[in-house]
Amino acid sequence: MRLFEGTPFDRPPRCERCDQLEENCQCPSLPEPRTPPDRQTARIQLETRKGKKQVTVIRGLLDEGTHLAELLTHLKSTCGAGGSLQEGALELQGDQRDRIAPALKRLGYRVRA
């Protein structure tokens, strides 16, 4: 008996959309965001929530497919902080304005504080 026998780690990877094996998948690749980053302006704000907790909020970016979720993952790893996607706005824990602005500029976004 193998260690991971019968678990998802033992099975070959499958496509999330068509449930075929990845090597047999015929799904078209996910489209790139329709609006390029240099045509979007990110508005960065610091908000204080209950209990005097600070949250850095990024608004003004278009939600096209999984684009914002991937961007949030990149920003969370850049800042080393937790965060979430709430109603089209990216929220990161703490005051991360000094780290987020340069990271967004490197990706090609226009930034407004």
Longest dimension (CA), the chain: 58
Whole-number Cα distances in Å, 54 to 36, 71, 91: 30, 20, 10
Q: pLDDT per residue over 15-68, tens digit each? A: 877 888 888 888 877 556 578 888 999 999 999 999 999 999 999 998 877 789
On whether the CB atoms of residues 83 and 76 are closer than 8 A, the answer is: yes
Q: pLDDT per residue over 57-81, tens digit each? A: 999 998 877 789 989 999 999 999 9
Q: Which residues pair with 84 in a beta bridge?
A: 91
Count, residues in the chain: 113
> Mind listing the domains of the chain with CATH numbers?
30-112 (3.30.780.10)
Question: Which H or E element spans position 75?
Answer: helix 67-79
